């Protein structure tokens, strides 16, 4: 992210305007990702208070130097170890003189809410939904650049991974190997725990890696991603050995066609549900739509799953700057599954597929 605080100030100004529209004097942000988005601080266990002309980051002594390095222009309140962070936040907005405070409805627990009410009985506390998440929907050029970097790291790791496969490799060991390779290529971590599913276990969309080996298996499904300082990638590919059965070819072709049909309709103004419907229609033509058991995709950015969600019944209109996954899959119990997932940017007049790895079975054959 840009080091100039004006970059973050623009976000804070937009949030302050939304806060005023909610009819409250200040807003309490407790979700670490949202705190990072608004300040550039990469730590956790810290709350941010945002008002029309005041911000204050409530943290503790573990992060004093880190705060000075990462966001020196943000006013900070360092609480002592004996004071709970919720108590420190209440102390701060009492000092600021706020009589009404919004808070992140999806992030504050019942216990925390009750504590707020107990410590500040004269302050009106209002649950607010998706204020920061709405700001995060459309990525700017810097954010898109960081997502591109996360994709490139993941793709380099995948090429090393596929070259390393051996018959006695097993799911858990392969998952661990991918995580090591992603870090070796420059990521802070993987974007989420890597999924490796061999043979019939690929029928589990989120298969927990176990002990099944590649020996004798026709395919292995790999779902992985990289996390840079803040932004993430999310990809899925299936690798196969040198014999492609008619069943695998049929399923693979149907899934690839579904992905291509969905990508073809991606553009500003199109509703999320229409993109999902395009993929399902393609799978229905192949008689495989009943084996597609999840939504088509989701937004990706600072979190691996964020708005917008691409699924049935979701009328959200796509906008330039959104980055989404397109990941149709077919999962047949007792046989296996195929999922192809790419990260796609919505542009002013269409879309750009950001990930570049091959997608066809011939290009993804590996002798193990």
Comparing CA positions, the residue from 11, 6, 41, 312 lying closest to residue 138 is 11
Comparing CA positions, the residue from 259, 247, 230, 254 lying closest to residue 340 is 259
Comparing CA positions, the residue from 277, 285, 278 lying closest to residue 254 is 285
Q: What letter does residue 260 receive in the DSSP assignment?
A: H
Query: What is the enclosing helix (H) or strand (E) of 275?
Result: helix 272-285
In contact, 139 and 323? CB cutoff 8 Å: yes
Integer Cα distance of 55 and 368 in angstroms: 56
In contact, 300 and 325? CB cutoff 8 Å: yes
Which DSSP string corresponds to 83-143?
Answer: S-HHHHHHHHHHHTT-SEEEEETTTS-HHHHHHHHHH-TTSEEEEE-SHHHHHHSS--HHH
CA distances from 206 to 191, 224, 331 (A): 15, 11, 11
Comparing CA positions, the residue from 230, 64, 59 lying closest to residue 142 is 230
Six-digit token string for 163: 């070259």
At residue 243, the pLDDT reads 85
Spell out the domains of the chain, with CATH numbers in brackets: 6-135 (3.40.350.10), 141-364 (3.90.230.10)
Integer Cα distance of 160 and 163 in angstroms: 5
**Segment-wise mean pLDDT, segments of 10 residues, the chain, 368 residues:** 81 95 96 98 97 94 98 97 97 93 96 95 96 98 98 98 98 98 98 98 97 97 97 98 94 98 98 98 98 98 98 98 98 98 98 98 95
- With vertex at residue 264, the alpha carbon angle to CA 259 and CA 268, rounded to the nearest 5 degrees, is 120
The pTM score is 0.96
Ramachandran angles phi, psi of 331, nearest 5°: -125, 110
At residue 1, the pLDDT reads 47
At residue 363, the pLDDT reads 97
């Amino acid at each position: 992210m840009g080091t100039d605080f004006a970059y973050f100030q623009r976000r804070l100004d937009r949030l302050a305007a939304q806060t005023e529209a909610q009819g409250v004097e200040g807003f309490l942000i407790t979700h670490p990702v949202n705190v990072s988005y608004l300040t550039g601080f990469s730590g956790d266990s810290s709350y941010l208070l945002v008002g029309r002309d005041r911000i204050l980051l409530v943290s503790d002594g573990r992060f004093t130097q880190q705060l000075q390095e990462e966001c020196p222009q943000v006013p900070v309140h360092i609480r002592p170890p004996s004071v709970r962070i919720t108590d420190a936040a209440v102390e701060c907005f009492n000092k600021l003189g706020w009589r009404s405070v919004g808070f992140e409805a999806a992030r504050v627990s019942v216990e925390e809410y009750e504590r707020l009410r107990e410590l500040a009985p004269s302050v009106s506390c209002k649950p607010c939904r998706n204020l920061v998440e709405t700001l995060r929907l459309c990525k700017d050029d810097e954010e898109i650049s960081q997502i591109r970097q996360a994709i490139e790291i993941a793709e380099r790791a995948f090429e090393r991974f596929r070259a390393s496969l051996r018959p006695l490799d097993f799911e858990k060991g392969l998952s661990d190997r991918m995580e090591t390779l992603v870090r070796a290529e420059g990521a802070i971590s993987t974007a989420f725990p890597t999924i490796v599913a061999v043979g019939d276990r690929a029928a589990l969309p989120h298969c927990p890696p176990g002990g099944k080996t590649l020996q004798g298996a026709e395919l292995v499904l790999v779902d992985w991603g990289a996390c840079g300082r803040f932004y993430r990638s999310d990809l899925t590919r299936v690798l196969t050995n040198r014999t492609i059965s008619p069943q695998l070819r049929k399923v693979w072709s149907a899934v690839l066609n579904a992905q291509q049909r969905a990508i073809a309709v991606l553009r500003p103004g199109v509703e999320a549900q229409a993109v999902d419907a395009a993929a399902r229609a393609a799978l229905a033509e192949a008689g495989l739509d009943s084996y597609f058991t999840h939504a088509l995709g989701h937004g990706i950015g600072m979190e691996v799953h964020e708005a917008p969600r691409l699924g049935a019944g979701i009328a959200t209109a796509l906008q330039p700057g959104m980055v989404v996954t397109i990941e149709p899959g077919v999962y047949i119990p007792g046989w296996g599954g195929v999922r192809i997932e790419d990260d796609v940017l919505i542009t002013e007049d269409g879309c750009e597929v950001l990930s570049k790895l091959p997608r066809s079975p011939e290009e993804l054959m590996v002798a193990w």
